[in-house]
Amino acid sequence: MVKALSCYSLRGMRVLLRVDFNVPIVRGRVAGDFRVRAHLPAIRSLLLGENRIILLSHHSDRRQSIRPLAKHLGTLLKIPVAFLSDPSAAALPPGPIVLVENLRFWNGEEAEDGTFARMLASRGDVFVNDAFAVAHRRGASITVLPRILPSYLGPLFEREIAELKRLEKNPQRPLVAVFGGAKIETKVKLLKRMVRLADRVLVGGALANPFLRARGATVSLPSTKDAAARAAITALARSPKIVLPVDGVMGRSPGARQRTGSLDRVQQGEGIYDAGPATVRLFGRELAQSRTIIWNGPLGIVEMPAFRKGTLGLVRAIGRSRGRSIVGGGDTIAWLEGRGLLKHFDYVSTGGGAMLAYLAGEKLPGLEALK
């Protein structure tokens, strides 16, 4: 049984709080703080109980110090946040909140090293995991600490699971799922399950290419080498629930001259780099009828201005829909946040991989460890 922090009152304790502060840091400044702000309710709740909070986080860049986040968090909370550059230091710096350096500076984090976990545990009396975004991963601060200290599920983590359970068990219908991006091999299981759960599954981006090929379109990108994945895609492509792009922005390379056209006219050697206007209208009609929407992954190479129109059209279509919308995915969220587009969604998940793993029916190591 998982103990949720919302059901308990911690007072006067040293609390190791696992958060996900894996956010963009540019020239020593935090460039996007959606994930930081998502953890503020847990931090404020623990401060009200006069607890001392030791924040644990990683950054995906193993060389990136998260020191700038101490100052940024202090500004949000309006109190000083101390920074600990070495978790094995003899003493913690003074103050009600201490942020520990990027845990991936030490090999023991990703290795699930018991010695490293016990060193972290010596800093606290209890452990709270509020980092849903890393629940699909393993690590000393995710899967080992809960076996050492009394442990609780944080409020953000709890709400994320509640949102996904509602989506999975009792969604308002029609339920329309939209998936883009790439890495088809990692999403086959998810797509198989979503075809069962959803009323429509809209597939775009590079993710759509093997489905287009299975339906007879000419796509220059190589097929997946995984035979089981190819067989699953061929079977899924037959499903009437799967809706694919009908046009796109294509060319010999992203930097070459581009043209927009029907996907039944893709020439040999051309790549598809964005969804076209007819695809945006097609997807928009499906979304207009929805009561629940879940989206993960862009429809084009949104890092390049020439290939953003399809995804921007999708965002506008979701915003116009009467359906309750949920979006997740680290890169997608960062892109939306940078353009002020998060307001178009009813719920923004802090998790990308964790959300997809949960929807695919997989167990989340970070959640299982709290049991």
Q: Which two tokens stand for residue 179?
A: 């998936």
Q: Residue 183 region, left (φ>0) first, then alpha (ψ -120 to 50), else beta?
A: left
270 three-class SS: coil
Query: 3-class secondary structure for 63-90?
Result: CCCCHHHHHHHHHHHCCCCEEECCCCCC
Q: How confident is the model at residue 222 (pLDDT cuts 50, 70, 90)?
A: low
Q: What gap in Å lies between CA 71 and CA 168, rounded to an integer?
A: 39
In terms of Cβ atoms closer than 10 Å to its own Cβ (0-12, 13-18, 19+), residue 340 is exposed
Q: What gap in Å lies between CA 278 and CA 256, rounded to an integer?
A: 22
Nearest alpha carbon to residue 142 among 269, 27, 16, 226: 16
Q: How confident is the model at residue 236 (pLDDT cuts 50, 70, 90)?
A: very high
Task: List residues bridging with 14 in a β-sheet.
Answer: 52
Token pair 């209890």: residue: 126
Q: Which two tokens stand for residue 240?
A: 């009437």
25 three-class SS: strand
More confident residue, 104 or 233: 104
Q: How confident is the model at residue 196 (pLDDT cuts 50, 70, 90)?
A: very high
Q: What gap in Å lies between CA 111 and CA 77, rounded to an integer?
A: 33
H-helix or E-strand spanning residue 127: strand 126-129
CA dist list (Å): 306 to 51, 249, 277: 50, 9, 13
Q: How confident is the model at residue 255 (pLDDT cuts 50, 70, 90)?
A: confident
Q: In this predicted model, what pLDDT tens digit does every residue of 64-92 receive, in sequence order?
A: 999 999 999 999 999 999 999 999 998 99
What lies within 8 Å, CB to CB, of 17 at 6+ separation is: 39, 42, 43, 46, 53, 54, 55, 56, 128, 130, 154
Q: How high is the mean pLDDT of the chain?
A: 93
Domains of the chain in start order, with CATH, are 5-158 (3.40.50.1260), 173-322 (3.40.50.1260)
pLDDT at 26: 94
Q: What gap in Å lies between CA 285 and CA 54, rounded to an integer?
A: 48
H-helix or E-strand spanning residue 114: helix 114-121
Least trusted range by pLDDT, from 32-41, 194-203, 248-257, 298-307:
248-257
Q: What gap in Å lies between CA 248 and CA 108, rounded to an integer?
A: 46
Nearest alpha carbon to residue 110 among 56, 58, 36: 58
Q: Which two tokens stand for residue 161?
A: 């699971």
Give backbone dihedrals phi and psi of 367, rounded to 5 degrees, phi first.
-80, -40
